[in-house]
Amino acid sequence: MTDAPANTLNLLADIGGTNTRVALARGAELLPDTIRRFRNADHDSLDSVLGAYLQSEGRPDCAGACVAVAGPVRDGEARLTNLDWTISKTSLARAARAEVVAVLNDLQAQGYALGYLPDEAVIPIHTGTPAPGARMLVVGIGTGFNCAPVHTGTDTRHVPPAEAGHVSLPIRTAEERDLADYLDRSYGFASVEEVLSGRGLGQLQSWLAKRQGDPRDMDSAAVLAGAEAGDAHALEVLTMFVRLLGRVTGDLALMHLPYGGIFLVGGMSNAVAPWLPRLGFAETLADKGRFSNLSNSFPVSVVSDDCAALIGCAHHLSPLLQKSGTV
């Protein structure tokens, strides 16, 4: 239970499709001992989650509140992609009793965390020399796929939202054209997210097995376990996944020119991280014709910190509170 004077703490939440993690911060400092996890299925709204959390923490009167949401945010309102919740600044302010509130896409929150994470939580997988203060790029592979460019000024940071997982999957070979046709038939649209996500690895396996005349279904965990055990089919699936990830990441890098580095986040990023150097990620990242040298120059790291979105919320909220005069 937290015992603090009114308006000295901030409320943070990281809302996924299955779980929501909630914590308190003092200024931009996340308080690790206050982090709690809630199963979304046990609650009918974010208000219910925050009410239960604040009750357990002694009902602190918070100065600010910031939530990161796995879904698009527009005009301060979010609708979760995989959960029937709607979150607005108004409802958040009411639930938290907060004067300053913010609602972010989860990749935006990850972007606000860059530079504030422990060194051991940022694992380099492709060498390069990041330029201080330069634009960075967050690429998230988890339940879905998305990206967020990170623009850092002298005293400010801006992380615009995107829904990059729903763009068309880039196709270069006849085999990939067949994959795109399969996704069109099965899901109505051959998007990046239908391959480069938790469910996507399993869908890629299902397509390849049918194409090879040996139909069998393996989920993502089974593909990863099979590759680790040396199963040739699983390894072929994972190799295609890694190379498509390299190509899409390279495309995004040329769009945003992240001289400050590319940061892969999310559960699938961490699951496939050991395979990236071995299965051609860097080669396909740099396979951009006369722009190959440029594509190859961006350093790439994997972020392993589960608290990154909460940390990003804290750092996004802190200057808003200072500007408002609340703290």
Give the mean pLDDT of 238-251. 98
Question: Taking the CA of residue 180 as centre, how many other CA atoms within 13 Å lie in the half-sphere pointing to its CB?
Answer: 14
Same domain, yes or no, for 98 and 190?
A: no
Give the mean pLDDT of 197-223. 94
Q: pLDDT-based confidence at 2, cuts 50/70/90?
A: low
The parent domain of residue 57 ranges over 10-112+307-324
Same domain, yes or no, for 239 and 143?
A: yes
Would you say residue 174 has pLDDT above 90? yes
Question: Taking the CA of residue 168 as centre, how many other CA atoms within 13 Å lie in the half-sphere pointing to its CB?
Answer: 8
CA distance 145 to 132: 27
- CATH number for 156: 3.40.367.20
Residue 3 lies in a domain: no
Same domain, yes or no, for 192 and 129?
A: yes
Convert the pLDDT of each residue in 108-137 to its tens digit. 999 999 999 999 999 999 988 888 889 999
Query: CB count, 10 Å around CB of 319?
Result: 13
- CATH number for 314: 3.30.420.40
Residue among 123, 275, 140 at smallest CA distance from 200: 140
Q: How many domains are there within the chain? A: 2
Here the tokens at position 67 are 């939530």
Query: CB count, 10 Å around CB of 214?
Result: 9
Give the mean pLDDT of 281-301. 95
Same domain, yes or no, for 266 and 142?
A: yes
Same domain, yes or no, for 137 and 209?
A: yes
